[in-house]
Amino acid sequence: MSKKSIDECVRNSLETYFKDLHGIEPNGVYEMMIRAVEKPMLEVVMQQAEQNQSRAAEWLGLNRNTLRKKLVDHKLIK
- Of the two residues 66 and 3, the one the predictor is more confident about is 66
16/71 Cα distance (integer angstroms): 29
How many other C-beta atoms lie within 10 A of the C-beta of residue 42? 20
Band of pLDDT at residue 1, cut at 50, 70 and 90:
low
Torsion of CA 78, 51, 56, 43, to 10 degrees: -70
CATH topology of domain 6-73: Arc Repressor Mutant, subunit A (1.10.10)
pLDDT for the residue 2: 73
pLDDT tens by residue, 29-73: 999 999 899 999 999 999 999 999 999 999 999 999 999 999 999
